[in-house]
Structure 1
Amino acid sequence: MQNEQSYVVGIDLGGTKIAAALLDGNGMVLKREQLETAGARTAQEVVERMAGLVRSVADGKPLIGVGLASPGAVNSRDGIVINGTNLPEWDNVPLKQWMEADLGVEVQVVNDANAAAWGEYARGAGKGADNMVYVTFSTGIGAGIVMDGKLLFGTHSFAGELGHLTVDPDGPVCSCGRQGCWEAFASGTAIRDAALRHMRERSSLIAELAVASGEPISSRHVFEAAKRGDAVAVEVIDKTTDYMAIGLANAVHTFNPDRIVIGGGVSKAGELLFSALRKKTEECVMKPYRGTYDIVPADLKDDVGIIGAAALFNR
């Protein structure tokens, strides 16, 4: 358990960068740095970079531990990254063992979605909840579950992959290779793809907004066009929120949370998204569940992984 004089380093490991920060016992970020992962050829080289980053942000302060958020499938009990998304040659990497041998302090390793969930629960929009479901709608759909104040890991630490629940077995192929996953219907990528399909036959403000921004069409442009009343965008968002609500209703029926925290790029759409999502989820859940939970936007921003990883030492 931490106190104000305790120091923890949180690390967010990604395919392109490693971000790390020193936090005190109140979860305050005292020092933050990041490095590129590009150029590191092996897992050992990435670990060396992370260890060096820990020493740099710790700046001589005694640490009670290092929390590490990793992409991909993670065995959190043993601290092994089974396969690292966007990290080449990351198969069964004993990250905890290697980092502890290098740093001489306890290291806890979790999947990045679980780190974000725990960060929101401990320090963000989930604070004060007993049971919380965290869902991030971004390129894909990530999720983490907190039950009775504890992260839900499952037998092999794989629990919480809500994005790959089957919504329609005859639906489109998901990035995981299976058909009809929730992610294929309700992610930011799904919003973009639906908009592109509609735009083959109908003109839309979405294209103008993308050109003006100098960026490829994304869900952000679709939401912006919907706010301005564009017919294609409104139709796409309306259908997507139907699918979002179906998935959230499944989570409500399964976990009976008192709070659902929504993160990721899609969550930045504001009330255009949240008012529809609250209404439609209530329509999808069984009557006894209605009014038993809140749906709220995430509080923590880009450092949610760092903060959540560090907060593992508050469990």
Structure 2
Amino acid sequence: MTAVLALDIGGTKLAAGVVTPDGAVHGMVVEPTRRTEGPGVIIPRLFALGRRAIAESGFSEPMAAVGISCGGPLDADAGMLTGPLHLPGWIDIPIVRMAEQEYGLPAALENDASLAALAEQRHGAARGARSMIYLTVSTGIGGGAVFDGVLYRGAAGNGGEFGHITVVRGGRACLCGRAGCLEAYASGTSIGARADELLASGGMPSSLVAPVTAQQVSAAARAGDPVGVAIWDETVELLGQAVTDLVNILEPQVVVLGGGVTRSGAQLLDPVARLVHAGAMGPAGAAVRVELAELGDAVCVVGAGELALDLGR
């Protein structure tokens, strides 16, 4: 059976696994990124992690190719990490050429959220759909899309930055340098920060104590805590507004929501889906499915594997 090596470079963790055409991941291994160490230390650890994954996968045949998943900005065509926001100091890193030299195999690079979309379209919650969009709602907010069965990449491989849709004109500052982005309100980081700010204002009673996490906010909202309810309601309202805009522009069959914040399950999914179905235009908008991602923490590894498998298709 054809097998490929998949590498995922995250700000928090590195992951590697061997992926087969059925979307299964074999020998997956994970370790902390420790991003302060810089690329000169982290990249050799990543490549060693890949070799561990191959050894633990049980595959005796050589790998066919290597797929690499990383957040942007990046230049997929050049195989270059041009300055990922989650990896300070990683400027113009020729990661594809380095992987090819390390493993003696063809390699390819793609945006992590785009690959997550591809993985969910082929093997997850949007399996079989010809058109879908994916949003990862986690430390930040990223996204990807598949149209007519083909991954949408954008001109340089950075398309699908759905977290940087403006949802509040002149609103909170975003790490991208703009203001009022969805990421500045609905990411896990921003949910916690907004709760901390509301607590500091002293305007509402609350059982929460700063610093607050998004998970604590969702739990407090379920319990009826005034600060938790206020922050959570604003979060799902703005996320639902952004997804509705995307549905009206792109008219996908399926919207998939993934990332750590979606571990709240129906508490997030149900109100977002209601807002989308109430605000989306036309019969296609009313029929769009809004689903939680199925592939969990392995989603970018699966996507990187699909990227590598596509090199030989």
- The normalised TM-score by structure 2 is 0.89
Q: What residue number does 2:18 align with?
A: 22
How many angstroms apart in 2 are the aligned matches of 1:198 and 1:18?
34
Shift of 1:37: 4.0
Q: What residue number does 2:4 align with?
A: 8
Q: Percent identity?
A: 33
* Residue 251 of structure 2 is aligned to residue 249 of structure 1: no
- Aligned pair partner of 2:51 in 55, 59, 77: 55
Q: What residue number does 2:187 align with?
A: 187
Shift of 1:41: 5.1
Unaligned runs of 5+ in 2: none
Q: What residue number does 1:167 align with?
A: 167
Residue identity matched to 2:180: G
Q: What residue number does 1:213 align with?
A: none
* Residue 219 of structure 2 is aligned to residue 224 of structure 1: yes
Shift of 1:25: 2.9
Q: What residue number does 1:112 align with?
A: 112
CA, structure 1 residues 205+38, in 2 after alignment: closer, same or farther (shift >3 Å)?
closer
Shift of 1:183: 1.3
* Residue 199 of structure 2 is aligned to residue 205 of structure 1: no
How many angstroms apart in 2 are the aligned matches of 1:203 and 1:176?
33
Unaligned runs of 5+ in 1: 211-215
- Contact persistence 1:241–1:276 (CA under 8 A): yes
* Residue 307 of structure 2 is aligned to residue 306 of structure 1: no
How many angstroms apart in 1 are the aligned matches of 2:62 and 2:34?
30
- Contact persistence 1:32–1:57 (CA under 8 A): yes
How many angstroms apart in 1 are the aligned matches of 2:83 and 2:303?
21
Q: How many residues align?
A: 304
* Residue 127 of structure 2 is aligned to residue 131 of structure 1: no
Residue identity matched to 2:206: S
- Contact persistence 2:65–2:309 (CA under 8 A): no
Deviations 1:16-61 (A, max 9, x none): 4321112233222221223444488553543333333323322353
How many angstroms apart in 2 are the aligned matches of 1:201 and 1:105?
59
Shift of 1:13: 1.1
Residue identity matched to 1:53: L
Shift of 1:106: 1.3
Deviates more, 1:142-151 or 1:279-288: 279-288
Residue identity matched to 1:302: D
Shift of 1:159: 0.7
How many angstroms apart in 2 are the aligned matches of 1:32 and 1:168?
40
Residue identity matched to 1:202: M
Question: What is the aligned-residue RMSD (CA, Å)?
Answer: 2.1
- Contact persistence 2:66–2:107 (CA under 8 A): yes
Deviations 1:215-243 (A, max 9, x none): x4111111111212223322222222111
- Contact persistence 2:5–2:66 (CA under 8 A): yes
- Contact persistence 1:11–1:306 (CA under 8 A): yes
